[in-house]
Structure 1
């Protein structure tokens, strides 16, 4: 039957399983939040009705609110990652340090984000830590800076290895080169990702003054990159 072929289609099965996980749903809401932010500015620039502009602005706020609830306990994940990096004595010192700083910064960022979520729910007095959003953005930017240094270190190390391995053309060495090239691509992609998110954080902290449309577009791109990684990692 046609209905069965649609219902049991591998792509649909993978999609259902994909959205059955909180990290995937959170990333999807991130995409919708930044897309709404971009569309709100786009409608404003094109002179569309105030109702339409406000609709996208409200959607952005609602999607952002939902995301805060989904990642309320996420700081623990980053604290565990920082602890594992600290215990890994075989890791390159630069990679170890930046991994620890990145995860501790993300834990602090998400901790302040959880505080904001508590305020929005009325569980925390709104007068407490009035600059929680600013501190959250600062720690996010610090984590991103550590991630950028981490990616640059990986790129430098892998590029040096690639240059030293090109002189040999045996099959085993070629397999190693292919593996290095793949890791190099991942590191460069992560670098671009962190640079785009840093662009958002710098605007949030008023170090840069680009438009809401620019920020929204950058957020859409990094959200798509995150969803792409999660989609590839999802097994049927």
Structure 2
């Protein structure tokens, strides 16, 4: 039956499983949030009407408010990762320092984001202190620190993977091994390692691109006059779609039962 072919279709199953995850719902709402932000900027620039502009801004604010509860406990995950990073004695010191700063930045960012949520709910007023008045800028500051640290990690990964790739390419073009059997085994291992380095390079480039665009959004929220809502909205849409793609690829297509 047609109904059964739709009901049991793997894409529908994946979509249901995707929307059952916090990250899936969060990134979907994030995409809609920045889309509303871009639309509101367009309406303001084209003079399409005050009512339309404020409606788009109201929709954006609703998406922002809806996302906050989904991220309330994220500081715990980053604090755990921070603790594991500090205990890791084998990691490269440069990478360890950057990972420590990144996880600390995300922990503080999501922690202050929960305070910002209370402010949006009206439970905290500006008269409660300077921190409450500047809470959005504080969140953006720690987010920017985490993004810059992650970007430096990506650049280091690109450098390391590039040098490893070049060394492997030199080994593949040389024929020092005289034993054909050993040469064939080594060649297969080298090609496998080369594929791994290519994957790491692609992932690092993608993550660096996302973090550069997110840094633009963070600077806009921080109060940079040179970055308008149109640029920030466009950057936010691009990064949200890329993150949605990654989450979609990792979503299980098997049926899940909820007890």
TM range (shorter): over 0.9
1 CA distance for matches of 2:72 and 2:107?
A: 11
2: CA distance, partners of 1:9 / 1:76: 36
- Within-5 A mapping of 1:181-220: 181-207=198-224, 209-220=226-237
Aligned-pair distance for 1:133? 1.3
2:15 alignment partner in structure 1: 15
Structure 1: stretches of 5+ with no match in the other structure? none
**Consecutive unaligned residues in structure 2, runs of 5 or more:** 173-186, 254-259
Determine whether 1:84 maps to 2:84.
yes
**CA positional deviation for 1:123:** 3.4
CA contact (8 A) 2:136 2:222 kept: no
Measured after TM superposition, the shift of residue 14 of structure 1 is 0.2
Partners of 2:158 and 2:32 in 1: CA distance: 32
Give the distance between the partners of 2:57 and 2:202, measured in 1 at CA. 36
**Equivalent position SS for 1:127:** helix
CA distance in 2, matches of 1:120, 1:53: 20
Deviates more, 1:111-120 or 1:26-35: 111-120
- CA 1:210/1:124 → structure 2, altered by over 3 Å: closer, same or farther? closer
Structure 2 counterpart of 1:159: 162
Moved more, 15-24 or 121-130: 121-130
For residues 122 and 205 of structure 1, the distance between their equivalents in structure 2, rounded to whole angstroms, comes to 21
Secondary structure, counterpart of 2:81 in structure 1: helix
Look up the match of 1:28. 28
Q: TM-score, normalised by structure 2?
A: 0.87
Task: State the distance in 2 between where 1:67 and 1:189 align.
Answer: 24
TM-score (norm 1): 0.95
Q: Name the CA distance, whole Å, in 2 between partners of 1:115 and 1:123.
A: 9
Per-residue CA shift, 1:121-151, capped at 9, x if unaligned? 2434543322111111111111111111111
Answering whether residue 151 of structure 2 is matched by residue 148 of structure 1, we say yes
When structure 1 is superposed on structure 2, of 31-40 and 88-97 the one drifting more is 88-97
Instruction: Compare 222-231 and 46-55 and name the one that shifted more.
Output: 46-55
Q: Secondary structure at the match of 1:66?
A: helix
SS of equivalent to 1:24: helix
> Secondary structure of 1:168's match?
helix
Q: What is the CA distance between 1:52 and its match in structure 2?
A: 2.0
Structure whose alpha-carbon radius of gyration is higher:
2
Deviations 1:141-165 (A, max 9, x none): 1111111111111111111111111
Displacement, 1:39? 0.9
- The equivalences for 1:90-109 within 5 A come to 90-109=90-109
How many equivalent residue pairs? 236
**In the aligned structure 2, how far is the partner of 1:74 from the partner of 1:17?**
20
Conserved in 1, the CA contact under 8 Å of 2:219 and 2:227?
A: no
CA distance in 1: counterparts of 2:77 and 2:90, whole angstroms = 22
- What stretches of structure 1 move > 3 A for 4+ residues in a row? 122-126
CA RMSD of aligned residues (A): 1.4
